[in-house]
């Protein structure tokens, strides 16, 4: 049995993770903690893998503390920057156990991971590319972690193919052109009734390709979370790994 503790267990995602863990035959719930609880009770004796879904402002400190406590961590919380990832790598280099792991996924839904992958494949073939993410209005961060990840992936693929900047003759912009992430314009919509959605638009003269992923329910993230828990529990992924695509043979 894989022993899993959930941090952020009372949240929208954390509560689904608790249910998913309770429903998995090979995984058992150790601790379910939320804001105000003491994370120091999570130890290698009671926990193999921690699943962390909290808020961007606290996630880094939680992950650093858990690494120091000797446990592996699967993280779904957004807000990761290169600087924060470097801090995680540094903590792992000093970790108390050999081969400790942290796994971070901007998105655990198969539709979103594949949309990201297809966008990377398409990116070198189009002059224009923009990302639109659409979410429920309770989301605290914009743009979404997934949209930032997609924009970086598109930019990397464009750079590798020798493409220049996307064409854009805008002279006045009060914010309507979105946030520019690595040269790619990213737009965020917040609308009651939505859950988590992303559209990647590609354009050439006379043609357009749209790649769209829709997550209508948070249960869509659970197979990816459990896959990550099982993979990390093997001990084969020491260090920091970012992105569920690493586990999907893409
Ligand atoms: N990677 C993925 O596939 C997905 C990622 N997310 C991300 O997961 C994060 C959480 O999203 P939601 O569950 O919708 O948010 P939420 O606000 O419903 O839940 C966050 C939970 O964290 C708790 N929390 C706050 N500070 C804490 C602390 N210091 N220690 C422990 N718990 C603490 C809160 O009390 C709350 O219960 C967000 O960053 C969101 O963007 C959301 C959906 C899918
Ligand atoms: O807050 C959410 O809901 C989601 N957050 C993640 C993100 O910011 O990309 C993943 C998914 O889009 C749902």
Question: Where along the chain do its domains lie?
Answer: 2-104+219-247, 110-216
How many other CB atoms are there within 10 angstroms of residue 32's CB atom? 20
Tell me the fold of 2-104+219-247: Rossmann fold (3.40.50)
Give the model's confidence band at 21: pLDDT under 50 very low, under 70 low, under 90 confident, else very high. very high
Could you give the CA distance from residue 103 to residue 101 in angstroms, rounded to a whole number?
6
**187 catalytic per annotation:** no
Superfamily of domain 110-216: Dihydrodipicolinate Reductase; domain 2 (3.30.360.10)
The pairing of beta strand 207-215 with beta strand 196-204: antiparallel
DSSP 165: P
Which pLDDT belongs to residue 92?
98
Hey, whose CA ends up nearest to atom 4 of ligand 2?
A: 196
Handedness of CA 112, 118, 123, 129 (dihedral sign): negative
Q: Say if residue 81 carries a ligand binding annotation.
A: no
- Indicate the angle between helix axes 82-93 and 56-68, nearest 10 degrees: 10
Instruction: Give the model confidence (pLDDT) of 199-222 as tens digits.
Output: 999 999 999 999 999 999 999 999
Q: Is 206 annotated as a binding residue?
A: no
Q: Is 77 exposed, middle or buried (0-12, 13-18, 19+ CB in 10 A)?
A: buried
pTM: 0.97
119-166 tens-digit pLDDT: 999 999 999 999 999 999 999 999 999 999 999 999 999 999 999 999
Indicate the top mutation candidate among 35, 40, 62, 221 to test ligand 1's pocket, ranked by most ligand atoms within 8 A of CB. 35
Query: How does residue 240 score in pLDDT terms, banded at 50, 70 and 90?
Result: very high
Q: Report CA(51)–ligand 1 centroid distance (Å).
A: 11
Read off the DSSP letter of residue 175. S
């Amino acid at each position: 049995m894989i022993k899993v503790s959930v941090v952020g267990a009372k949240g929208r995602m954390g509560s689904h993770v608790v249910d998913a863990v309770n429903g998995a035959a090979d995984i058992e719930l150790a601790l379910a903690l939320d804001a105000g609880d003491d994370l120091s009770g999570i130890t290698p004796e009671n926990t193999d893998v921690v699943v962390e879904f909290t808020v961007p402002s606290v996630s880094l400190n939680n992950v650093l503390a858990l690494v120091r406590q000797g446990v592996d961590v699967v993280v779904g919380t957004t807000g990761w920057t290169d600087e924060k990832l470097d801090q995680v790598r540094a903590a792992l280099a000093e970790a108390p156990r050999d081969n400790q792991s942290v796994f971070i996924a901007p998105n655990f839904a198969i539709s979103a991971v594949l949309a990201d992958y297809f966008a990377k494949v398409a990116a070198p073939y189009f002059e224009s590319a923009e990302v639109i993410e659409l979410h429920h209005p309770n989301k605290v961060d914009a743009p979404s972690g997934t949209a930032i990840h997609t924009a970086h992936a598109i930019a990397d693929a464009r750079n590798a193919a020798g493409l220049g900047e996307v064409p854009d003759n805008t002279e006045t912009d009060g914010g309507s052109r979105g946030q520019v992430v690595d040269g790619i314009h990213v737009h965020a919509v917040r609308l009651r009734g939505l859950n988590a959605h992303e559209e990647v638009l590609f354009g050439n003269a006379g043609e357009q390709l749209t790649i769209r992923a829709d997550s209508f329910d948070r249960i869509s993230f659970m197979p990816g979370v459990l896959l990550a828990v099982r993979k990390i529990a093997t001990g084969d992924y020491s260090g920091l790994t970012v992105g569920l695509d690493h586990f999907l043979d893409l």
